[in-house]
Structure 1
Amino acid sequence: MHHSYATPEATYRFAKQFSHYKDFYARHDGLIFSKLGFGTFKKEPYKEENYIFDYKDALRTAIKSGINLIDTAINYRYQESEKEIGEVLAELIEKDEVKREELIVCSKGGFIPLCFPFPPNPYLWIDEHIVQKGLATLEDIELDQHCMTTDFLRYSLQQSLKNLQLECLDIYFLHNPETQLTKIGKSAFFEKLEAVFTLFETLVSENKIKSYGVAVWNALTYEEDNAEHINLEALFDVARKVGGQNHHFKYIQLPFNIAKTNAYSVANQKMSDGNYYTPLQVAHKLGLGVIGSSSLLQMHLFQKPFKPEVGYLLDSKMELQSDVQLALQFVRSSRGFISSLFSSTKSEHVIENGKIASINAVSSAKYNLLFKVEKST
């Protein structure tokens, strides 16, 4: 078990080993993040082929290539993703190839993880592991898959720490809380959040997590009248209410890629000053770090090639070989994100993706032109 957590000095030391990289590190809350983070999400969890591969080699390569942000969730591949990360970190730390303090490790709680191999009957699993243990009632569980009771979340975090072989997580995200929003309504939802954030502050004081956040799919980018829209400042106010000025709500995670740019381009978030801002602008005003998920939109981005002018704006010297690299160049160039996640099971893809570190990010002026190119389609 590794007792420590990411520190400003160690993350800085890690980045310094890659001082030949260009625009590849960003600072938030004192820590230095690699602009690309290693994600471990694979959709369609019931498919057997999600279990015949593992992330271990790719993760080793990512860390050796200068990536120090590792993102997972307890339910990804029914706890297998977390366990694989745990094995790799234990091995690299043991061999002194990396120090725990150099890495920023995030996981998420909210979905019921089940386990692999699949339980023959998921309902029995839920009954035995959650209901009978008094962690939640069936009423608390939405769509047989999502639960936000404090007892369940504490259990979930403990299990994540065990899977990851760590004593402390750098960031713990409440995972897609909007899953419950439509069912329970806004006011009950914010009451639940208050209990959850109170628990998270407690977990910080117990040294089980260093900070927390909320990871969403569309909740922060939907228009206000959507039933799943969440107001970011309202979330932040809950943290301030339960944790005071020194609360530990420091991050949000939301999708951002070349096809899904709302976080950067659509002002859908109303703030207490009465004005509307983009989610990124709100995060910035509140001092929250933003991590982009789904940078490659689970590879759906590549069904047709990018327009040449997009390629040109992202990579005018034509140094990148693939559309995947262009897509990552797009997310890493956004000024508002401290890091963007991609997931890969093959070492050679990680190396390929990492090649964008050898060229500069796109300038803001060119970056903003991209949105004009996109709009004209």
Structure 2
Amino acid sequence: MATREALWGYRNRFGDAFGRTYFRRFGPGVVSSVGIGTYLGEPTPAVDEASRESIELALRSGVNHVDTAANYRCGRAERVVGEALRAAPVDRESVVVATKGGFLPFDGERPSDPSAYVRERFVEPGIVAPDDLANGAHAITPEFLEWSLDRSLDRLGLDSVDCYYVHNPETQLAVRSRADVYDALGAAFEALERRRAAGDLGAYGVATWDAFRVPEGGDRYLSLAEVLSRAEAAGEAVGPDDDHGFEAVQLPFNVAMADAFTRRNQPAPPGADADGPVSALSFAHEAGLSVVTSASIGQGDLAVEGAVPADVDATLAGETPAQRALNFARSAPGVTSSLVGSADPEHVRENVAAGTFDPLGASAFDAVFE
């Protein structure tokens, strides 16, 4: 697991090589505000090798935040992350490793009959019950998440992960009420609190796509305040004190998907200086939660000239469109780290170099939306 001493030691290795606030508070120490994601790519040996090389390069170059999930690239992504960690010339304790559970993972390749695969590998052995499933492939029961965490640790070859996300819990809204989803999250958080106490994870959170950025009352909306309250209750229930390990939220954010900043769809936290609802980013900041952005350059769509509106592009620092798009995401108030996935070493170098430029200050970022 990452430690304060090792995280700060990693940051100090790079001295003044990066711009202002490149390393930001996370967990016991600091983490790079550019992180490497592992979502994209086919489940093939060729992509495995390219991804491994890219992750190793990132770890050597100033990126100490690696994000993956049990289901990414049919389970191959986690294996590659573990291999890259063992091969890179950095200590495990100096890297924040995050993974996720929720979607039922394949085992290295896509089966010819996914429904039969789920039935034979998950339902018949009792890992999930049919009623647990949403869209035939998603579950957040305590039993399934614990099974998934164990499999993730095996694939990563690690004793623990630094952050474990419940993956897209809003998927469950397709088959059950919002109140039932909150209850399910509460049960899941109690299980994760027990695993935190056992030393299997350092912190946990939720990784979402729609939940915290759609309008309140929308079909896939969840209240961040209610989710946090379930974590607080889980911490009290599990003990040994009233603390809890819910520390991070992951959501999509970029210049074309700025809802987490612009849409006031969350109730203001107690004590916040707000007259009404606030944005997801504002709530997370006031509540002391780290925010990790996914789709930070729109899965590559914003890495081309002209993709970012000219007036916004002109305010951003960076030599390439990808760097400027990434620096937009890193500039949002409350953002801890912005993920970019790449299996191309040149793209990794380009993304890391974005961190040598200063992000926008809070006032300059606000002015973009005026």
Q: Give the TM-score normalised by the residue count of structure 1.
A: 0.90
**Aligned equivalent of 1:327:** 325
1:40-94 CA-partner distances (Å, limit 9, x unpaired): 0117x6x8799576411110111111100000001000011111111111222xx
* Structure 1 vs Structure 2 CA RMSD: 1.9
Code of the residue aligned with 1:254 in structure 2: it is: L
What residue in structure 2 maps to residue 39 of structure 1? 37
Give the Cα–Cα distance (whole angstroms) in 2 for the partners of residues 58 and 304 of structure 1.
24
Cα contact 2:34–2:351 (8 A) shared by 1: no
Pairing partner for 1:308 from 307, 310, 320:
310
Q: Which amino acid aligns with 1:325?
A: Q
Within the alignment, does 1:258 sit opposite 2:255 as a pair? yes
For residues 108-159 of structure 1, the C-alpha deviation after alignment (integer angstroms, 9 at most, x for no partner) is 0000101223323222322222112211112211112111121111111111
The one of 224, 237, 258 aligned to 2:229 = 237
1:84 — aligned with what? 80
Q: Does residue 1:227 correspond to 2:205, yes or no?
A: no
Secondary structure of the residue aligned to 2:324 is: helix
Name the residue aligned to 1:18: 14
Matching residue of 2:102: 110
Deviation at 1:310, TM superposition (A): 2.1
Match of 1:279 in 2: 280
Q: Which moved more, 1:102-111 or 1:56-65?
A: 56-65
Secondary structure of the structure 2 residue equivalent to 1:365: helix
For 1:147-162, what aligned pairs fall within 5 Å after superposition? 147-162=139-154
Q: 1:270 aligns with which of 267, 270, 286?
A: 267
Q: Matched residue of 2:125: which SS?
A: coil
Taking structure 2 as the reference length, the TM-score comes to: 0.92
1:175 and 1:216 in contact (8 A); partners too: yes
Return 48-57 or 341-350, whichever deviates more: 48-57
Unpaired stretches in structure 2, ≥5 consecutive residues = 237-241
Equivalent residue number for residue 375 of structure 1: none
Bigger mean CA deviation after superposition, 168-177 or 153-162: 153-162
Q: Deviations over 1:212-249 (max 9, x none)?
A: 00000011011112021100010011011111230111
Structure 1 residue matching 2:251: 3-state secondary structure: strand
Distance in 1 separating the partners of 2:340 and 2:304: 17
Q: Which runs of 5+ in 1 are unaligned?
A: 373-377
CA shift for structure 1 position 33 = 0.9
Deviations 1:11-51 (A, max 9, x none): 011001112111210013332010001100117x6x87995
Match of 2:366 among 353, 365, 368: 368
Q: Is the 8 A contact 1:54 1:84 kept in 2?
A: no
Distance 2:199 2:65 in 1: 19
